[in-house]
Amino acid sequence: MAESRFLYVIYIRTTPEKLWQALIDPEFTRQYWCETRQESTWTPGAPWQILRPDGRVADSGEILEIEPHRRLVLSWQNQFVPEMREEGSSRLTYELEPVGSSVKLTVIHEMDRPDSKLIDGVSNGWPHILCSLKSLLETGESLDETRRWPEGV
Amino acid sequence: MDIVFKALADPGRRLLLDRLRDQNGQTLGQLCEHLEMSRQAVSRHLRLLEQANLVAVLWRGREKWHYLNPMPIHEIAERWIGKFERQRVQALHQLKQALEGETDG
């Protein structure tokens, strides 16, 4: 295939409203996403960035589509690993769909080029972040391994 | 969680997951290439893997693409591998890989 993509699906016992808030509210995201901070006004076309705990920009892009509690698509370009940065923009999609007493969260991260280093790199990180997000919403506590920015990165 | 273990209990289904690990995002036709299994058997296995959420699908036009979804296995690991054991388990796994090569069944 001429593109790189992964697709993760996780079921979380919560409501679409709570999950949506957990995906974009910095007070939630820092707990399950290694102390990072996302900044955006969350409107179509608005810039978006995610900052490392030391304040440097990790990744940035813009909001491509936003439909609260249902769907969010943003462009995503790495800013701190030169070989990933030069690959250009990838695309991240969140889809939320209520299923019984849970919400099915689909996360698609893709780039229109084969063998993307960025997609390969983030595909290892996402399962930890998503499991931790689930734990935070279902038990009130995120997972230990995602509460701090990894050393040496 | 029962269905995850049931799905993983079959060598044919594990083979399909291995194929997706090698190349993520494949159609039924692509997955059937170079396999001893019939198309019907592959299709049946994929359905169960999908029910267990070990395979996630993406429709593009009339084509159905299959992706390896590690989330259920990750949740199982989180449940039984405690935070203090993680590094030791990983060290042992690396040792095993170094000694045996990457050919775990």
Question: Which percentage of chain B shows pLDDT scores above 90?
Answer: 64
Q: Where would I find the H helices in chain A?
A: 16-24, 26-32, 82-85, 117-139
> Rounded to a whole number, what is the distance in Å from the CA of B11 to chain A's nearest CA?
23
Residues of A in contact with B70 (CB under 8 A): 8, 127
- CATH (residue range A4-146): 3.30.530.20
Res B53: pLDDT: 97
Q: Is the pLDDT of residue B68 over 70?
A: yes
Find the helix or strand (DSSP H, E) in which A148 lies: none
Q: Cβ A127–B70 below 8 Å, yes or no?
A: yes
Q: Is the pLDDT of residue B102 over 90?
A: no
Q: Look up residue A72 and give its two tokens.
A: 């969010």
Q: What is the pLDDT of residues B4-45, one digit of tens each?
A: 999 999 999 999 999 999 999 999 999 999 888 999 999 999
Q: What is the pLDDT of residues B80-101, one digit of tens each?
A: 876 666 667 777 788 888 888 7
In sequence order, which residues have a C-beta less than 8 Å from that of residue A141 and are 6 or more positions away?
A135
Give the three-state DSSP class for A104: strand
Res B85: pLDDT: 67
Give the three-state DSSP class for A1: coil
Q: Cβ A9–B58 below 8 Å, yes or no?
A: no
* pTM: predicted TM-score of the whole model, two decimal places: 0.88
Asked if A38 is an interface residue toward chain B (Cβ–Cβ < 8 A), one would say no
Q: What is the pLDDT of residues A86-101, one digit of tens each?
A: 999 999 999 999 999 9
In sequence order, which residues have a C-beta less than 8 Å from that of residue B21 and are 6 or more positions away?
B68
Q: Cβ A9–B83 below 8 Å, yes or no?
A: no
What structural domains does chain B harbor? 2-69 (1.10.10.10)
Instruction: Return the domain boundaries, chain A.
Output: 4-146
> What ipTM does the predicted assembly reach?
0.85
Residue in chain A closest to B83 (alpha carbons) equals A144
DSSP state of A145: G
- Of B27, B20, B61, nearest to B43 by C-alpha is B27
Res B95: pLDDT: 83
